[in-house]
A and B are shown apart, each in its own frame.
Chain A
Amino acid sequence: MTMEAYRYGDGSITYPGHPRGPDGSEPVGTVDLSEYTAEVVTWTTSHATPPGVREPNTLAIVEFDVDGTPVRAIGQVTTDDVEIGDEVEPVHVDELREPGAGIREPASQDWDGYRFEPTG
């Protein structure tokens, strides 16, 4: 299992990856963000969640520092005890929400991924 981000010709990195980077350059490699820690940029706890999603659902936008290059990601948090600036690490989960409970076709995407767990 990896949390795969793309590195582009201009040196930028995005998660998720895209066929083209922010300046239009093509991917030149990948980075597994699950090997890094990140800092919480902001967070929320959602109390009105769609079908198949845990309730409440604490989410955070986090920023990884990959050798000096910032890379942001969004994801569920393992606890509701989180603050801006906290350090978190990715923790793999087999199923983040129930496939098929919502409107999206279950086979159209994967449903596993990484929650963020505070390291402190």
Chain B
Amino acid sequence: MPDVAVIGASMTKFGRREEWVLELLAEAAEACLEDAGVEGTDLDHLYVSNMASGEFEGMTGIPNALAHDIAAMPAYTQRVDQTSSSGGAGTYAAWQSVASGASDMTLLVGAEKMTHRSTGESTDIIASVTHPVEYKHGVTLPSFAGLTARLYLDRFDAPRESLAKVAVKNHENGTRNPHAQFQKEIDVETAMSSPMVADPLRLYDFCPITDGSAAMLFCPADLAREYADEYAVVSGVAGATDTHVVHERADPTTMGGVVDSGRAAYEMAGLDPEDVDVAELHDMFTILEFLQMEGLDLAPKGEAWKEMDRGTTAIDGELPINTSGGLKSKGHPLGASGVGQGYEIYKQLVGEAGDRQVDAEVGLACNVGGFGNCVITTIMEARP
């Protein structure tokens, strides 16, 4: 089985965009192909990560439409929907396509167009992942975050400010990322006094609703040098699920899919958590950054907030987390988010992360669907 390389990546500006999903996909796809010096006609496989283009704008069949727009025919196309972890699942699919020998050149593009819908409508589309016994009570993803945050703070005696500090850190990182939706720093006081959304979580504990697209290009590692002097290899990638019904989990502060996908990805890569130099975690809500740090053994159980206080996860810390600004500041265009995480790790590993560049040889991305219902963990390493 060949090693799989990432030889190019791109992302559009995330935020409120005029373009619709197909235009966003084409923008990122063209930029990614250009980044690697590859033509659409060179593609064997084309994967599109997207959660809900049908629900958001009544547009389906987008992989084929994109293949036509970028002249990728007769490339095989497939849509990958795994809710908010569609991008990570697309990464897994793209890796599989090359590792299996089915494709020598695979483009993955993730996108979502959301901001034309009201916050309530968007929240409801996302909440449609819930079980009927959850949905009929008006349970939303933000309310799961509020329920979990209260339990975490209570059980581990963590100060409420620790969650605000996640938002402050990621907003600061976002100011270094020209693609990020938010380009402003905030302070703890601002976060702590923002409107209550899902008690005890406030507005600045939540990611925004976002339009955007991101792309990555994969090929066998032994072909990578034909296209790039520096590239990355996917050394570990794994997916796992947890219960669909969130309250059935024995410990609501543990996301089993994070734990299981992380362990499998570490094992595949032959690496330990201590080897990770930089990580992009799925901070759709601030509390999720702590849950993933702990689930991935990047912090002891119940102590991620202490690492935050120590500055470990700051961009100049021992383990920078969400140098891109994370979903919190960069934005969360559902199907694009996992690909955007991969973009950030790739750029960090090839030394093209600009003002947010850190010293990294090994990067990890964790992409979470639902409220931990399905998770993809990807580990990439710099080459040569």
Contacts and interface: CB of A to CB of B under 8 A. Distances in A.
A47 B195 contact: yes
- Residues of B contacting A: mostly: helix
Interface in B131-179: 131-140, 142-143, 146-151, 154
Interface in A38-56: 41-54
Contacts, number: 124
Contacts of B128: 102-104
A66 interface: no
Contacts of A49: 120, 123, 138, 140
B133 A97 contact: no
Contacts of B137: 57, 59, 74-76, 96-97, 113
A42 B148 contact: yes
A72 interface: yes
Contacts of A60: 147
B198 A45 contact: yes
B102 interface: no
Nearest to A22: B248
B123 A72 contact: no
B190 interface: no
A61 interface: yes
B125 A103 contact: yes
- Choose among B133, B149, B150 the residue with the greatest number of A CB atoms under 10 Å from its CB: B133
A110 interface: yes
A38 B127 CA distance: 26
A74 B120 CA distance: 21
B245 interface: yes
A61 B294 CA distance: 22
Interface string A91-116: 00000110000111000111101000
A43 B123 contact: no
Contacts of A46: 138, 140, 142-143, 146, 197-199
Contacts of B252: 41-42, 61
Nearest to B149: A44
A73 B131 CA distance: 12
A57 B143 contact: yes
Given A47-B195, A48-B142, A97-B137, A72 B248 contact: yes
A57 B248 CA distance: 21
Contact of B138 (A43, A54, A73, A109): A54
B136 A59 contact: no
5 contacts: A42-B150, A42-B151, A48-B198, A50-B127, A103-B125
Q: Which 3 A-B pairs have the closest CB atoms?
A: A44-B146, A53-B138, A50-B124
Given A49-B120, A102-B135, 9 more contacts: A44-B143, A44-B198, A48-B140, A51-B120, A51-B121, A60-B147, A72-B248, A74-B139, A84-B154
